[in-house]
Amino acid sequence: MKGSGARKICIIGTGYVGLVTGTCLAHLGNQVVCLDVVREKIEGLRNGKLPIYEPGLDALVARSVASAHLSFTTDYAEALDGAQFVFIAVPTPSAPDSARADMRYVEAAAREVARHLDHPCIVVNKSTMPVGSGDVVSALLRKHMARSGVQTSVVSNPEFLREGSAVRDFLSPDRVVLGSSDRQAAEAVAELYMPLRAPIIITDLYTAEMIKYAANAFLATKISFINEIARICERLGADVKEVAAGMGYDTRIGRAFLDAGLGYGGSCFGKDVAALTHMAADGGLHPQLLAAVAAINADQRRLIAEKVGSALGGDLAGKRVAILGLAFKPNTDDMRDAPSVTVVEALLADGAVVRAYDPIAHETAREALAGHDVTFCDNAYDAVCGCDAAVIVTEWAEFRELDFARLRALMARPILVDSRNLFEPAEVAHQGFAYHAIGRPYQPPADLNGADEVDAELSLVTGRAARGGR
């Protein structure tokens, strides 16, 4: 796919947003230089080693480099040479001392751009930044501009990329959002996206910045809502999967993001909900709904350890538990705010022996769980060997194809806690497993065939038992 004309673009930051954005803009026929201050990342990229796992991205990077549309550098002067557009795509994590977004990397990038820029250009805020950040970046550019008379305009262009499908999301977006006090600058950025034939929304700076936060907060709300409903379903004996399906047929609601489970994780939803809550509080407001969304999500992670404990009779001391899936979602190796970390820590705190496996997140998981007594395994069957329970934490496709007969033969007890509701309870129970899902009626094993007796307390987790056996 080629655009109507090549532009010179500088991308600052080579994380998920920066690398995907830069590579896809190069794929559209632009001349793109990706800059990062971490020399090891740039050296790796020059040698074809990506710092992240993202399906399809490695091949697209290789093609764009081979066509000379994409290059990498640590040198601001080189990256900015002749650049018509500068995209700031650096991290904006939660600040160490509060829920506000930490803007230090954005501010550093803006200062460096001002010090090295010698010609007019458009600066595009691609990172998720608090409302008002466009003004901050504009002020920094003016304050630190090394050469007089250099004109810049700032455009907010929030990203809506999902890890695991980021390339597809960039090339086939639902919409492109742009905001600026300079309409002409916003329209110039819009031209970069014209080959994608996507709806383009142009607003003022503050509105564009707010659209990103509002969108993520709404999606997080849907996730926490269905998890709240799941808890009620468990207590009353209803099936949350069927409830979500029934709700989803209503076009006012929709089915997306109504999957009960462990809740949201990753680098976006948690920090964006927290940052929006902080901004609202700073404005003298009391964002009750946002606070509840975050609280429900935190509770949901603790629920899984409780389910495992209940399934094993209330005592996890010395019990062996397999964790299947560690990345915060499938098709990524990202462990940032991964629910698996909370689950593992809770199980270890209760005395469990933890074995774990993830198809992709080997190294990132070892780093995230450094200092924890976890045995990392090469496959799911190795992980469950001799275990009293197995917990599906990440919904990797390979887990949908598990051989239950083989699992059952390897495990000390046939207990499966499915925090992603991958299977139908009756089918798993028919395979001889005690199956515990989220918001779905408990299914006792159909036949243990002489396996270790499952504790009688298992029956107490059913919705009927919770209602007094009715």
What residues have CB less than 8 Å from 332, skipping those under 6 apart? 52, 53, 54, 163, 164, 360, 361
Exposure on the CB side of residue 231, measured as CA atoms within 13 A: 17
Q: Walk across the sheet containing 389-392 and list its strands.
A: 374-376, 353-357, 320-324, 389-392, 415-418, 434-436
Of 132, 435, 108, residue with least CA distance to 283: 132
Please give the Cα distance from 273 to 407 (Å, whole number): 39
Beta bridge partners of 12: 35, 88
CA torsion 115→117→119→123, rounded to 10°?
-110
Which amino acid is located at 145 in the chain? M
| Joined tokens for residue 188 | 């110039």
> Which residues make beta-bridge pairs with 101?
94
Q: How far is residue 265's CA from residue 155's CA, in Å, rounded to a whole number?
A: 28
List, as own/partner pairs, every contact residues 350-353 make where C-beta atoms lie below 8 angstroms and the sequence separation is at least 24, other chains included.
Answer: 350/305, 350/309, 350/316, 350/317, 351/315, 351/316, 351/317, 351/318, 351/319, 352/308, 352/316, 352/317, 352/318, 352/319, 352/320, 352/321, 353/318, 353/319, 353/320, 353/321
CA dist., res. 217 & res. 59, Å (int): 33
Q: How far lies 360's CA from each of 31, 126, 417, in Å?
A: 32, 27, 21
Q: Single out the catalytic residue among 121, 268, 377, 387.
A: 268
The answer to whether 268 is a known catalytic residue is: yes
DSSP track, 37-48: S-HHHHHHHHTT
- Distance between alpha carbon 10 and the CA centroid of its chain, in Å? 25
For residue 385, which of 343, 435, 322 has the smallest C-alpha distance? 322
Write out the two tokens for 108: 């550093």
* Owner of token pair 């004109």: 151
DSSP, residue by residue, 228-257:
HHHHHHHHHT--HHHHHHHHHTSTTT-STT
Site of tokens 């820590």: 345
Supply the angle between the helices 205-236 and 240-248 in degrees, to the nearest 10.
140
Residue type at 359 in one-letter notation:
P
Provide the annotated active-site residues: 268
